[in-house]
A and B are shown apart, each in its own frame.
Chain A
Amino acid sequence: MVKDRIKKLYMSLVFVFLYAPIAVLVIYSFNDSTSRGTWGGFTLRWYAELLSDRDIKTALYYTVVVALLAASISTIVGTFTAIGLYSFNKMPKAIMLNLNYLPVVNPDVVTGLALMILYLSANMRLGFLSMLLSHITFDIPYVILAVLPKLKSMNKHITEAALDLGATPMYALRKIVIPEIMPGIITGFLIAFTLSIDDFVISFFTTGSGVTNLSIVIYSMARRGVKPTINALSTLMLGAVLILLFLINKRSSLIDEQKNNGGFI
């Protein structure tokens, strides 16, 4: 059918638009020539240069450490907050949720500079701690938004039954509520982690004294013009993302399989 062909053509054009820039980055990361017009042969020179670059290595270290810490802390705080919020009355709950929503809807620039003003007003030195605190601040709302729906859809009677059968509230929380909302908690953690890894604007405003993350390094390199080492870095980061996605996919299909098997027994 003609219509199907038009659809296919359109989708291919969109995919070319989406993937061409990435393909260009990957191809040029192996190009042994500083000018991008010419192909100077295959090389791993830029990767070698990348691996010996101190700035990039420290940035990578800070990116991963901040993301892991911020995602873990915000997952714990966010989960408990969501559980607490769940038993709130309507009005205070709405106030809390709206305030919680503010960093989500506020432009990153505003969140970033507002936090910068806060730290500098409190005479705090900008650096690792200020960046970590900022990351936690913009991560928690997403964790709450991921966990709260799971609490709402949970069957209340299970907890009540546990309490009736003599479980202490803490025991019921540990054995019933947390396992029930676990998918939401994991989603929240993953969202928080990816947001932290990718953040540029808020980190840019709230960091200082030699503490940078990968986004900041890429920004300052890109501002000085195109550089082949950035291409190599992008290729490596893309590879990392692909491996991560593959693992997540494998894990979820494994879980599906187990569930299916369990269903038959």
Chain B
Amino acid sequence: MNKRQKFFAYPYGLWMTLFILLPILLVFLYSITSKDTNQIKTLRFTLDNYRKFFDPLYINVIIRSINLALISTFFCLVIGYPVAYIISTTNLKKRNTVLLLFILPMWMNMLLRTYAWMTILGNNGLINSFLNMLGLPSFRLLYNNTAIVIGMVYNFLPFMVLPIYTVLSKMDMKLVEASHDLGADHKTTFLRVIFPLSLPGVISGIIMVFMPAVSSFVIPRLLGGNRSLYIGTLIENLFLVTGDWHFGSSVAIIMMLIILASMSILNRFDVDKEGGAGLW
């Protein structure tokens, strides 16, 4: 192709510098400067914002968020793997319909999907009204960690199923047959052949669920109430309620690092990486 076509990419290069690189640098700048000055001339560099973060209060926020994200990822994997496996073994005619039915809820706005659980779990929601009808007392189902995990699994389950399904459906079935021919039973074949081969899908599934789960602030806000903070809600609070941009920026930088670190760790296990953006 023509060399002059290179110029086509230059405007976006400028755009990226302005709208992707510069904002992140600004966040970083805010995270290492102190609060009392706004003028560039009198900028004071400090690591206080990061030091503040090591207060047990905020460390707990991180631990709580990671914990919740891990639990949600675990449930997505446990529920999602069989789904992916079953879809990949249904016959081709039915498969597309099943797949479409599975993806369809994802087309609905995420806030509505989360809101739907408020109507089900709420104090006079569906489950509690049903219990009342049977003469049983209501339970407090909404505004706790279980509700958050349900919301996350509900929202992020397709992110786990789709990559695993893709890998499973591309798998060479001759390997499975060979394993059976060589005398392995179903369990051994699954554990020694199918599962190891599907690992790349499992890993991208884990990444794709863990990332939004750890940073989400909508689901904790709507289903978790206001009682406990998570990284996402902490950042939102610091920026939009308290207006403490400096500390908020340091929390944002730390969250970014957590996500990039967990991604690069998991990516090492991913054998057949598809070229291009290998750095992240």
Contacts and interface: CB of A to CB of B under 8 A. Distances in A.
**Do A and B truly interact?**
yes
Interface of A: 7, 10-11, 14-15, 17-22, 24-25, 28, 35-38, 77-78, 80-88, 94, 96-103, 105-111, 113-118, 121, 133-134, 137, 140, 148, 156, 159, 163, 169, 173, 177, 194, 197-198, 200-201, 205, 214-215, 218-219, 222-223, 226, 230-231, 233-234, 237-238, 241, 245
A83 B111 contact: no
Q: Which of B16, B20, B120: most chain A Cβ within 10 A?
A: B20
A43 B27 CA distance: 50
A47 to B, nearest CB: 16
B5 A110 contact: no
Contacts of B53: none
B86 A7 contact: yes
B248 to A, nearest CB: 7
A200 B215 CA distance: 14
Contacts of A201: 217-218
B170 to A, nearest CB: 16
Interface stretch (B44-52, B99-107, B195-203): B99-107
A17 B124 CA distance: 20
Q: 10 tightest CB-CB pairs across the interface, nearest first?
A: A84-B9, A84-B8, A37-B129, A107-B215, A21-B116, A114-B23, A81-B12, A101-B277, A80-B8, A169-B2
A87 B5 contact: yes
B58 interface: no
Interface of B: 1-13, 15-16, 19-24, 26-27, 30, 79, 82-83, 86, 98, 101-102, 104-105, 107-120, 122, 124-126, 128-129, 132-133, 154, 157, 211-212, 214-215, 217-218, 221-222, 232, 235-236, 239-240, 245, 248-249, 252, 255-256, 259-260, 263, 276-280
In this complex, the member of B21, B112, B116, B132 whose beta carbon has the largest number of chain A beta carbons within 10 angstroms is B112
A34 to B, nearest CB: 10
Contact of A24 (B119, B133, B245): B119
B5 A86 contact: yes
B16 A223 contact: no
Contact of A117 (B23, B117, B217, B260): B23
Contacts of B252: 109-110, 113-114
Contacts of B249: 113, 117
Contacts of A156: 1
Contacts of B215: 107-110
A22 B108 contact: yes
Nearest to A249: B100
Question: Which of A108, A113, A218, A234 has the most CB atoms of chain B within a 10 A radius of its CB?
Answer: A113
Nearest to B280: A105
A22 B232 CA distance: 26
A205 B239 contact: yes
A215 B109 CA distance: 8
Contact of B86 (A11, A99, A226): A11
Contacts of A96: 9, 13, 16
A24 B214 CA distance: 28
A83 B211 CA distance: 30
A246 to B, nearest CB: 11
27 contacts: A11-B98, A18-B157, A20-B120, A22-B116, A36-B125, A80-B11, A84-B6, A84-B10, A86-B1, A87-B3, A97-B277, A99-B20, A100-B16, A100-B277, A101-B279, A107-B256, A108-B212, A113-B27, A113-B248, A169-B4, A169-B5, A197-B109, A205-B239, A215-B111, A223-B221, A230-B112, A241-B104
A36 B218 contact: no
Given A37-B132, A87-B1, A133-B19, A218 B119 contact: no
A105 B115 contact: no
B5 A114 contact: no
Nearest to A10: B82
A4 B2 CA distance: 57
A140 B2 CA distance: 23
A113 B116 contact: no
A222 B115 contact: yes
Given A19-B105, A113-B27, 11 more contacts: A11-B86, A17-B154, A25-B112, A36-B125, A37-B129, A98-B279, A103-B20, A108-B215, A113-B249, A118-B22, A137-B20
A223 B109 contact: no
Given A117-B30, A223-B222, A241-B108, A99 B276 contact: no
Contacts of A105: 211, 259-260, 263, 280
A80 B9 contact: yes
A78 B252 CA distance: 28
A109 B5 contact: no
A11 B83 contact: yes
A88 B9 contact: yes
B111 A218 contact: yes
Contacts of B256: 106-107, 110
